[in-house]
Structure 1
Amino acid sequence: MGHGPGPERLRQRHEDLPEMKRRVAFASFVDENYLPGFLTLLRSLALSNPGVCEDFLVLHDELRPASVARIRALHPRVSFRRVNAAHYDTYAKGDQDNYLVRKAYFILDVFRIRDYDTVITLDTDMVVLGPIDELLTLRRGLGAVPQFFYGDTTRLLNSGLLVIQQEFLTDEFCARIDETGRSGAYELDKHDQGILNAVLDGDFLDLDAKYNFVKRRLSGDLPVPEDTAVLHFTGRHKPWQGGETGYAQAQERWAEYELTDAELHAAYLESEGELHRDLLIHYGTAHVRRTRDAGTARKVALAQIGRGDYQAAVDVLEQADLPVDEAWVHEVYGHALMSVSRYDEARAQLLLATAAPNRAATAFARLAQIAWVHGEDATARTYALEGLTVDPTHRASRLWHQRTTGVPQQQTGSPGDQLAHVAFYMDRQGNAGDKLLPESVRLAVGGAETGGRRWHSVHAHRLFDEAALERVNARRGLVIGGGGLFIPDTMPNGNSAWQWNVPDDLMRRIDVPVAVFAVGFNAFDGQSYRAERFRSSLRLLVEKSAFFGLRNHGSIEKVRAMLPAHLHDKVRFQPCPTTVTRQLVPGWQDPAAREDTILLNAAYDRAGLRFGHDYGFFLDQMAAAVRELGRLAEVKCVAHSLDDEKLAFDLRREHGISLPVIPMYDFDNPQILDLYARTKLVIGMRGHAGMIPFGCGTPVLSLISHPKMAYFLRDIERPEWGVSVHDRDLAARLVEKAGALLADHAASVADVHGRQQELWKITEANAAELRVLFGG
C-alpha cells in the first residue's frame, strides 16, 4: 500500500465533509393581506412551543419595511426570501377571479430550498395550540395530514402543513411540479395542493389530524379538541377579518394569541417548561428594556452566557434594577463580569451573592476562580473551602480546592535553557485528551525531555501579567499549543476572547520568538465570539508569531477568513502531535497483540449544539449499532471525561444494554496510550478519541458532531471514516464501516500507518524549523 497523500494534496473540498448538524426550518408564504394571520401564527408558535426556535423562512413577493420590522420583532431567526412570482405565471390555473389563483402557488418555492434538511411549512391562517416536537424529529418522506372529507376515503393531502425532507428539496422534484403545473393535469381549484396531490399520487407520510385540524371539522360551533396542535382556518372567512358564523369557539382560540408585543413577552417569560435560549433573549431583552425587571435580566443573562456572549449578559444586567438582597442575580452578574475580565466589579457582585445560602457555594467557587486566575492560590483555596463549608457536595468548589492544594512547584532549570509553554493544563479527572496534549506538543517541539528542566509552564487560563511576561522573556522562546485554544467559552476572558488570558499590551511586549503549534479553531457551528476583540487579538498573535501552525485545514480556513490578506500565508498546517504519537514517544513499541475490543466514546458537553432535536434518534441508533458491533468484538464505553459516561447510563436505562465503562479521565498519559494501542477499533465523538488512537496506530471511526472531526478526516483523505450523528442510517453505516475495517485488520492498521507517515513528515519539517528558531 502507498503511504497516503503529500502535504499539498491534504486539502479536499467542503463537499467531502459529512453534515455537521441537521438543519430544520419553518416556512410560510406571507403577503400584506395575510400578515395579521402570520403574526398571530408566530405568537402562537412561541407560546405553545416555548422550547422551539428554528429558522423561519418568510417567502414573499413584496412586503413593506414596516411589515418586515413587525415580523422581525416576533422571531429572532427569521429570514426573508423573495419568490420568483413570474415563474408560476406559466402554470395552468382555474378561476381567474379567485384572489388565490396566483399567490397560492408561491409556497411551492419551498421546494427550491437547498440549505436545510427538513422544512416545515405552515399556512398563515393557522394557529399553533399544542406541542409539535414530533414534527421536528421526522427524518424521511413528505409528511402531511390527509384531506378531510365526510364519507370519502380518497387519499389526498392537505398542503397547509407539510414536513418536507431533503429528498424532496431537489431540482428533480421541482421539475415534476413545474411539469404538472404547466400541463394543467391537476385539480385546478386546489392550486398548490392540487399540484402536490397530482405529483405525489398518494405517496406521502400520514400525520395525525391534530397537526392540521381544519376548521370545517368544528361546524356548528363545536369546541376545539384538547389535543389539537395546529388549528387551520380554511375557507374564505379569516379570523383577522371577523371570522365566520358557526365557529365562535375556534375563533376564541385564535384570539388568545392576538397580543401586543409587550403582552407576548410577558406571557412567554411566564411559560412553563424550558424556554428556548434565542426566544428568551429576544423577548426578554425587550422586556428588561421596558421594565428593568431583575428576574428577567438574570434569565436573559444566563442565556447569553450559555451561548458565549458574555458582554451581552453584562449589558442586559446593567439595564436592570438589581436589589441588593437578590443573591442569584448578583451571582450571575459576577459571572458575566469575570468573563469579560472586569474582575474587581465581579468580586463585589459575587461577595453580595455569598449572603444567600442557596447561591453562596457557587459564588465562592467563582471567587476562587478569580483568585486562581490572578495567581493567588492561597486565597482561591480559602474561597473554595468556604464553598464546601456551605455545601460539602459542591463540585466546582471541590475542584478549585483540589487545584490549589498541594500544587507542585515547577522544576527550575536555567531560564536560558527553557522554553515557555502556554497550554491548557488539565486537572485530575479532567478530559483525557487535554491531559495528553501538552506533553505531546513538547515531544514534537523539544524531543524527549518534557519536564521542568527544559520547559516553563504557563497556564493559558491564568491572567498573563507583568510577572508572567518577565518570566517568559527570560526564556529562549514561547510555544503556544495544546488543544483547541481558539474557542470562546472555555474559561472566557475579555482580554483576548480566546483561551489564553493575555492583554494585547503584554502580548506586544513579548520579545522572545513565538511559535503557535497545532492549535485548533474549536467553535461549534453557530457559536459566537466577541468578534472584534477576538479578531484583534488573533491578528496581533499572528503578527507576533515567527511560526503559526494550526492543526487542520478547516481551522486554517476559519482563521484566514478573520485576517487581512497579507497575513494569510503565515497560517500553516501543523497536525496535532497526538496523531503522530508512534513517532514521538521514545522507545515506542507497537503491540504484539490486540484485545478483541471496540472502544466507543460519546461527548456530552454542549449537547444542544451536538445533537439538536436528534438525541433520542442518536441513542436509538447507537443501541442498534452496539448490538450489531457486539457480534464483531466486545464493545466498551471509554469516557474521556465524567460526562461521557452518560452514553452507558442512557443505553442501559432506555434500551437495556449494559456496557463496561473505562474511566479514562482517571488515567495517566502512558495508560491512555496503552489502552488505545491495544484495542482493534475506536469509535469516538471527541476529537482526541479519534486523533489519539490514530496516533497509536489504531483504526478509527468518528461520530461527527463538531466540524473538527471532519476536518481531521479530510486532511488524511479518509472522510469515509466519519459518520454524522444526524445521519439517517447512522447504525447501519457504523456497523458497515466497522466491519470493513475489522475484516482485514492488518490492512486497516497499515493504512493508518501510511496516513500517519505523511503527517509525520510535516511535523518533522516544522520541528526542524523551530529548533533553528529557538536556537537548539
Structure 2
Amino acid sequence: MTATHISSPVPATARTAAPASDEGSARALTGKRRIAFASFVDENYLPGFLVLLRSLALSNPGVCEDFIVLHDDLKPSSVARIRALHPRVSFRRVDADHYDSYAKGDQDNYLVRKAYFILDVFKIRDYDTVITLDTDMVVLDSLAELLSLREGLAAVPQFFYGRHKLNSGLLVIQKEYLSDEFYARIDQVGRSGSYELDKHDQGILNAVLDGDFVRLDARYNFVKRRLSGDLPVPEDTAILHFTGRHKPWQGGEAGYDLAQERWREFDLSDADLQAAYLGGGGTMHQDLLIHFGTPHVERTGHVDTARRVAHAHIAKGDYQSAVEIMERVHIPIDEAWPHEVYGHALMSVSRYEEARAQLLLATSAPNRAATAFARLAQVSWVHGDDGAAQQYALQGLTVDPTHRASRIWHQRTIGVPAQQQGSPADQLAHVAFYMDRQGNAGDKLLPESVRLAFDPDTTNRRWHSVHAHRLFDEPALERVNARRGLVIGGGGLFIPDTMPNGNSAWQWNVPDELMSRIDVPIAVYAVGFNAFDGQSYRAQRFRDSLRLLVERSAFFGLRNHGSIEKVRAMLPSHLHDKVRFQPCPTTVTRQLVANWQDPVKRDDTILVNAAYDRASLRFGHDYGYFLEQMARAVRELGDLGDVQCVAHSLDDEKIAFDLRREHGVSMPVIPMYDFENDEIRDLYARTRLVIGMRGHAGMIPFGCGTPIISLISHPKMAYFLRDIERPEWGVSVHDRNLADVLVERSRDLLADHAKTVADVHGRQQELWRITQANAADLRAVLGG
C-alpha cells in the first residue's frame, strides 16, 4: 500500500529554512537530500541493535545511508561492535538530563526514563530525512518506499482507545519537523504532562500531532502481538517489531516462536554476516561491499571477493585501494576477471607495465577478452602508440563486434590527422580534453571555444594540440617547450575519474618532474573544479600537483567562483591571489565567433537536456520522483512550445525513453553528439528556451544569447548562475515542487521573450568585460 498524506503535515511555525551552516556547501547548492537512519541504543538493548543493523544490510543490500546512534553511555567495545556492522555510523550523546523535567507515569523506572531519549532525534539539523528504528525491530524487506518519502512525518497508525494514533517505533521525519519550533512543542507537552503518560515518547508525539501524520502501511511496523498463538510472519512484512517486555535476545516469549525464528536469522557472527552479505543477491552498495568484503578477504584470501571489492573501489574513484586489495590475494593464472580488474586498477594509478601484464592474462577468457583488449588499447594510446592501440582494439572487436569501448578506441586511432608543422614559435601548445566522435557535445565545442579567446585562427597552424589524457612524456615536453606558450583549458579538468591517472590525480596526465621543466609561460584558462557532491580526490597527490601547477602558471583562471573557493582551500595562502576568475568562453560565444549574427526568428521550441553519468550522485533516491515531475512539466510546457530532448551524449537520450515507458510522455530526440560545432551553436541560438542538466547545456545556449533554466544536480550549475546573479534560473532536481517551479519559471521567461533575451545579453556583457581584461594580461604573458 502506498503512503497516504493526511491534512497539512506541519504548522507554519514548524517550517524553517536550511541552517546557515549549509550555505556554500555542495548539498546546499544541489538540494540533494541527506538521509539518515537513527536509533537510541544502550547496553541493555545493544544485542537487539546489532541484529537490526545486520538485518538492514542483508534485507537492503543496496542501501547504505548514514546511521546516527543516539546513546547516553556506550562502552568502547560496544562502539567497536557497532562500527564493524556499518561503515557510516556516527555517535551522538543525548541530553539525558533534559528529559528529567518531563512529567512521567513512573519517574523511577530506568526504562521509562530512557524511552524519551529518542526524542533527541528532533534536534538533528544536518539531514533532510531521518528514519528512526527501535532497537527491538528486525528488517525483512525493502525500505525503498520509506527512502523515497519527501513530505511530512510518517508512521504506521495503530488503534488505541478508539482512535488511530501513530506507533513511534518507526518514524520517517522530514526536515520541516527537525526544527527548534517543533522541538519546543515536544518540550511544552512533555513538561506539562498533557499526554498519555504510559505511552512515553509515543504519547507526546501523538499529543503534538493530534492525528496529523502520513499513514504508512502496517508492513513497515508489524507488531509482534499480531502473531500471538505462534502465527507465521506475513511474507510482505518489511519491519517486524518485537514490542512488549520480552525481547528475543533475553529468551523471548512463549507463543511467538515463528516470529523469533525470523529474528534469530540475523543473530550472526561478524564473519557469518560478511559471508551472508557477499553471498546474497541483488545490487550491493559499494560502501557495504567494501566494508564487509575487506575483512572477508583478509581472513580468507578469497580472490573473487577481492575482485568485487576492488571493482567497488574503482567505482568510487579510490584506485589505490583497489590496487591494495588485489595485492593481498594470489590470483590463479586462469582467473581472467580478477586479472582484468587488477589491470584496470593498476593503469588508473599509472603503473602501466604491471597493468599490461595483468590485462594480457585477462585476454585468455572469451568473456573478459574484449574488455581487457580495450584497456590494453587505452594504455597504448595513453603512451602515444596509436598503432598498438588500434591492433588491441581490433582484437577486442574480433572477440565481440558489438563491444563499445573497443570500437571507441579503434575509431580514436584511425584517420588521425598529422599536426600541421608550421613555425613552432608562432604556435601555442594547448592541453585539453579533445572529444571523440559521438562524444559529449559540450566537450567537443570547448577546445575550439578556448582557442577563440586567444586567436580567431583555431587551426593547427596556430595551435599544437596536447590531449590531456595522454601521458606527458619527454618528447611531449620537448614539443611544448618549442612553442611560445602553453594554454591548459577545455573542460572540467579538475575531476578525478573521467580518465584516472596516478601522476596528477586530475585529468592532465602529467608527472610533477616534467611539469617543473616546462619553461614556456603557462596559462590555465577557464578550467572547472568538477567534483560531484559526494566525490573525492586522492587528496595529497592532487594537492601537490595542483600547487605545482599554480606556482608554475603565469595565469591561473577558473571558470566560476565556486571552483575558485574549492581550489584556494587546497592551496597555501600565499598562492590564493594567483587564482582568478575567467568565465568559460562558451558563455561569451556571441562575442568570440567572427561575424556572429543573432537569429532574426527563433524556432518555437523548448529544448530539454538531462544527464545520466554518475546517476547515483546526481539523483540519490529521487530519480523516480524526478521522472514523475518531468513528465508533468513536459506535458504543461507543451502549451508553451514544442518540447524536444537534446542529447549531448548518447546516455542523455535515457530521459526520453524513461518518460515514454513510465509515463507515456513522448519527446523527439535531437542527437547533438553527432553535430559539428557550428551546428551546436546554431541550434542553441535558434531555440527559445533551454532547460538543461549538463553544465554546457546551460553555458553554451547562454553564450548564444538564449534563455536558460538549469536542472541542478551538480554544484557547478549553481556556481554559474550565482556568478551571473540569476540563481532563479536554476531549480534542483530534488525540489519538492519541481514541475510547478519549472513550468512557472519557463512561463515567466517566455512571457516577454525579447526582454529575457536582453537580460541574457546584459549578463553576458559582464562576463565579456572580465574576459577582455584577462586577455590584456594574457597578451603580456604569451605575446601574440
Matched, 1:548 2:559: no
For 1:541-575, what per-residue CA distance to the aligned partner results, in whole angstroms no more than 9, with x for missing partners? 11111111111111111111111111111111111
Instruction: Look up the match of 1:522.
Output: 530
For 1:580-639, what per-residue CA distance to the aligned partner results, in whole angstroms no more than 9, with x for missing partners? 111111111111111110000000111111111111111111100000000000000000
Q: Which runs of 4+ in 1 moved over 4 A?
A: 15-18
Q: 2:631, 2:497 → 1: CA distance?
A: 32
Q: Secondary structure at the match of 1:161?
A: strand
Paired residues of 2:527 and 2:558 also in contact (CA < 8 A): yes
Paired residues of 2:496 and 2:507 also in contact (CA < 8 A): yes
Structure 1 residues 700 and 43: CA distance shift in structure 2, 3 A? same
Q: Secondary structure at the match of 1:683?
A: strand
Instruction: Look up the match of 1:736.
Output: 744
Question: How far does residue 13 in structure 1 lie from its aligned partner after superposition?
Answer: 6.0
Q: 2:639, 2:219 → 1: CA distance?
A: 43
Matched, 1:231 2:240: yes
Question: How far does residue 726 in structure 1 lie from its aligned partner after superposition?
Answer: 0.7
Instruction: Look up the match of 2:17.
Output: none
RMSD: 1.2
Instruction: Look up the match of 2:419.
Output: 410
Q: Secondary structure at the match of 2:132?
A: strand
Paired residues of 1:18 and 1:723 also in contact (CA < 8 A): no
Instruction: Look up the match of 2:163.
Output: 154
Q: 2:92, 2:23 → 1: CA distance?
A: 28
Matched, 1:762 2:770: yes
Matched, 1:488 2:496: yes
Q: Secondary structure at the match of 1:442?
A: helix
Question: How far does residue 153 in structure 1 lie from its aligned partner after superposition?
Answer: 4.1
Instruction: Look up the match of 2:253.
Output: 244
Q: Map 1:315-330 to 2 at 5 A.
A: 315-330=324-339
Letter aligned with residue 499 of structure 1? Q
Q: Map 1:49-60 to 2 at 5 A.
A: 49-60=60-71
Letter aligned with residue 658 of structure 1? S
Instruction: Look up the match of 2:317.
Output: 308
Instruction: Look up the match of 1:65.
Output: 76
For 1:48-84, what per-residue CA distance to the aligned partner results, in whole angstroms no more than 9, with x for missing partners? 1111111111111222211111111110111111222
Paired residues of 1:599 and 1:635 also in contact (CA < 8 A): yes
Q: Secondary structure at the match of 2:523?
A: strand
Instruction: Look up the match of 1:102.
Output: 113
Matched, 1:649 2:665: no
Matched, 1:136 2:144: no
Q: Map 1:626-665 to 2 at 5 A.
A: 626-665=634-673
Q: 1:13, 1:256 → 2: CA distance?
A: 45
Instruction: Look up the match of 2:487.
Output: 479
Q: 2:337, 2:668 → 1: CA distance?
A: 40
Instruction: Look up the match of 2:210.
Output: 201
Paired residues of 1:20 and 1:707 also in contact (CA < 8 A): no
> Larger relative contact order (C-alpha < 8 A, sep ≥ 6)?
1
Q: Map 1:18-33 to 2 at 5 A.
A: 18-33=29-44
Structure 1 residues 20 and 488: CA distance shift in structure 2, 3 A? farther
Letter aligned with residue 536 of structure 1? D
Q: Secondary structure at the match of 1:158?
A: strand
Q: 1:417, 1:447 → 2: CA distance?
A: 12
Instruction: Look up the match of 2:298.
Output: 289
Question: How far does residue 18 in structure 1 lie from its aligned partner after superposition?
Answer: 4.2
Instruction: Look up the match of 1:14.
Output: 24
Paired residues of 1:353 and 1:360 also in contact (CA < 8 A): yes
For 1:151-196, what per-residue CA distance to the aligned partner results, in whole angstroms no more than 9, with x for missing partners? x541211000000111111111111111111111011121110100
345, 362, 371: which one aligns with 1:336? 345
Paired residues of 1:18 and 1:722 also in contact (CA < 8 A): no
Q: Map 1:384-399 to 2 at 5 A.
A: 384-399=393-408
Q: 2:536, 2:123 → 1: CA distance?
A: 29
Q: 1:710, 1:176 → 2: CA distance?
A: 36
Q: 1:557, 1:292 → 2: CA distance?
A: 44
46, 50, 66: which one aligns with 1:39? 50
Letter aligned with residue 320 of structure 1? V
Q: Secondary structure at the match of 1:147?
A: strand
Q: Secondary structure at the match of 2:685?
A: helix
Paired residues of 2:31 and 2:735 also in contact (CA < 8 A): no
Question: How far does residue 148 in structure 1 lie from its aligned partner after superposition?
Answer: 4.6
Q: Map 1:543-622 to 2 at 5 A.
A: 543-622=551-630
Instruction: Look up the match of 1:83.
Output: 94
Could you list the runs of 5+ residues in structure 1 that have no partner in the other structure?
A: 1-11
Instruction: Look up the match of 1:348.
Output: 357
Q: 2:94, 2:521 → 1: CA distance?
A: 56
Instruction: Look up the match of 2:390.
Output: 381
Could you list the runs of 5+ residues in structure 2 that have no partner in the other structure?
A: 1-21
Instruction: Look up the match of 1:170.
Output: 179
Paired residues of 2:30 and 2:714 also in contact (CA < 8 A): no
Question: How far does residue 36 in structure 1 lie from its aligned partner after superposition?
Answer: 1.0
Q: 1:516, 1:69 → 2: CA distance?
A: 47
Q: 2:74, 2:569 → 1: CA distance?
A: 34
Matched, 1:499 2:501: no
Q: Map 1:265-276 to 2 at 5 A.
A: 265-276=274-285
Query: How many residues in Structure 1 have an aligned counterpart in Structure 2?
Result: 762
Q: Secondary structure at the match of 2:287?
A: helix
Paired residues of 1:423 and 1:459 also in contact (CA < 8 A): yes
Q: 1:768, 1:454 → 2: CA distance?
A: 19
Q: 2:681, 2:212 → 1: CA distance?
A: 53
Q: 1:19, 1:64 → 2: CA distance?
A: 38
Q: Secondary structure at the match of 1:252?
A: helix
Q: 2:505, 2:24 → 1: CA distance?
A: 27
For 1:683-729, what per-residue CA distance to the aligned partner results, in whole angstroms no more than 9, with x for missing partners? 00000000000000100000011111111111111111111111111
Instruction: Look up the match of 1:183.
Output: 192
Instruction: Look up the match of 2:267.
Output: 258
Structure 1 residues 148 and 229: CA distance shift in structure 2, 3 A? farther
Question: How far does residue 219 in structure 1 lie from its aligned partner after superposition?
Answer: 1.4
Q: 2:682, 2:659 → 1: CA distance?
A: 27
688, 693, 709: which one aligns with 1:685? 693
Question: How far does residue 86 in structure 1 lie from its aligned partner after superposition?
Answer: 2.1
Moved more, 631-640 or 241-250: 241-250
Moved more, 14-23 or 751-760: 14-23
Instruction: Look up the match of 2:460.
Output: 452
Q: 2:561, 2:298 → 1: CA distance?
A: 43
Question: Structure 2 length as normaliser, TM-score?
Answer: 0.96
Matched, 1:534 2:545: no
Paired residues of 1:20 and 1:706 also in contact (CA < 8 A): no
Paired residues of 1:91 and 1:184 also in contact (CA < 8 A): yes
Question: How far does residue 109 in structure 1 lie from its aligned partner after superposition?
Answer: 1.1
Q: 1:722, 1:114 → 2: CA distance?
A: 25
Q: Secondary structure at the match of 1:156?
A: strand
Q: 2:262, 2:23 → 1: CA distance?
A: 51
Question: How far does residue 765 in structure 1 lie from its aligned partner after superposition?
Answer: 0.6
Matched, 1:111 2:119: no
Q: Map 1:662-741 to 2 at 5 A.
A: 662-741=670-749
Q: 1:106, 1:724 → 2: CA distance?
A: 35
For 1:431-452, what per-residue CA distance to the aligned partner results, in whole angstroms no more than 9, with x for missing partners? 00001101111111x2211111
Q: Secondary structure at the match of 1:58?
A: strand
